[in-house]
Structure 1
Amino acid sequence: MNEQQVKKIIIREILFFIKAALGYTAFALFLKYYIGEDLTLNNFLQMAIVGFLVIYLVRFVFVTMKQMK
C-alpha cells in the first residue's frame, strides 16, 4: 500500500464515522420527540457506543470477506 491509498482509507473512515454519528443523533432525536423516550446524555452515549461497535464489526466482516474473494 502506498501513501496515497492510506490517506484515502483514512479519509473514508473519518467520513464514515461522521455519517454514523449524524445518524445516531437523528435516531436519538426520533426516539425523544416521536416515541417520547426520556433521553439523557448517558442513554445517548450508551446507544451510540453499542451502535458504533455493531456497525464496525459488521463492516469489518464484510470488508474481510470481500478481500478473501
Structure 2
Amino acid sequence: MSVQHSKAAVPEAAWVKSSYSTGNGGECIEVAAVSGAFIVRDSKQPAVAKLAFGPEAWDDFLRMAAER
C-alpha cells in the first residue's frame, strides 16, 4: 500500500462509490482501477491523499474486509 501524492488525474468516471455509502454524511470511500493499481479516496474529501494498492495487496485488503 502507498499514499499517492501525484497530481496525476484519475478521470471522475473511473471512481466507484462504496455500495455501503448511504449519502447521508457517513464514512464513504471511492475506488478507481487504473493501470495495475486500485486507488482509494475519501468521497467527502477527494482532493486529499489517496491510497494505492497493487493487485495482490488489494485482494488481501478485500479478503480482510470480508472477514469483518
Which structure shows the bigger proportion of residues in strand conformation?
A: 2
Which structure shows the bigger proportion of residues in helix conformation?
A: 1
The TM-score normalised by the length of structure 1 is: 0.30
Higher relative contact order (CA 8 A, sep 6+): 2
